[in-house]
Structure 1
């Protein structure tokens, strides 16, 4: 696996477009897990202290699973694919989850709103959009240093 030794975040190969695509890929898995966790927790009437960890856990599971699917298709064994997914997605998912859940907990009534209420869905959508916007520069910085989603690019 090739790692870039040049650590300039503004290097020609580190574009905002590349960072946005990596973030969108990560957000897809993260959002599936986050939404599923919030829906399950809200529908089951779980307390926020149970719903938030459920959403976070599912976001990591789905985020890693999407990355593993791609690298497994490239021929990596499961153990190596898991290592690549962990290296590629952990920071990105962690940042997104921090933002998602701070917003959901911070918007008054969002976590207590039912699944039929606009407040729940609008807050969740806003949290995901904000997570994308704030995580994109993090991913650009990491890719410029050969970390994060740059690890996956060797298998595409």
Structure 2
């Protein structure tokens, strides 16, 4: 269950992270602005994917947002700290262009490492009825 929850989180984070890095790089934003944009978009897409699922169960928008906050905040935060740290510390990755293997490779490696680090966090949270354990009740309907 923890791996599935983390994969779900990774999907939203990866969409936001990659989109943020691509937009920031394409528009020539400085590294800090690109990282901030990536993190913001990762949260938007991460919460959005969870909300999409729980809205289908009949929950209202406000309640679905509260479930998404409870389910995803820690997981997304851990994932974003890890993957952005990896990309920032890889020499030249933030300054590589969109056509660069270094740019795309560092993104892929950062997301893989973030997944590996976040699985035990999600396992710990689910074991205590937190995180994605909050979403399961809404997917069962």
| Partner of residue 135, structure 2 | 152
The structure that is helix-richer by fraction is 2
Select the residue among 22, 25, 30 that pairs with 1:42. 25
Counterparts in 2 of 1:25-40, with a 5 A limit? 25-40=8-23
State the number of aligned residues. Answer: 139
Q: Structure 1-normalised TM-score?
A: 0.89
Q: What secondary structure does 1:155 align onto? A: helix
| Partner of residue 67, structure 1 | 50
| Partner of residue 95, structure 1 | 78
Shift of 1:49: 1.2
| Partner of residue 5, structure 1 | none
Shift of 1:102: 0.2
Aligned CA RMSD, in angstroms, stands at 0.3
Q: Structure 2-normalised TM-score?
A: 0.98
Task: Identify unmatched segments of 5+ residues in structure 1.
Answer: 1-17
2:99 corresponds to 1:105: no
Higher relative contact order (CA 8 A, sep 6+): 1
| Partner of residue 15, structure 1 | none
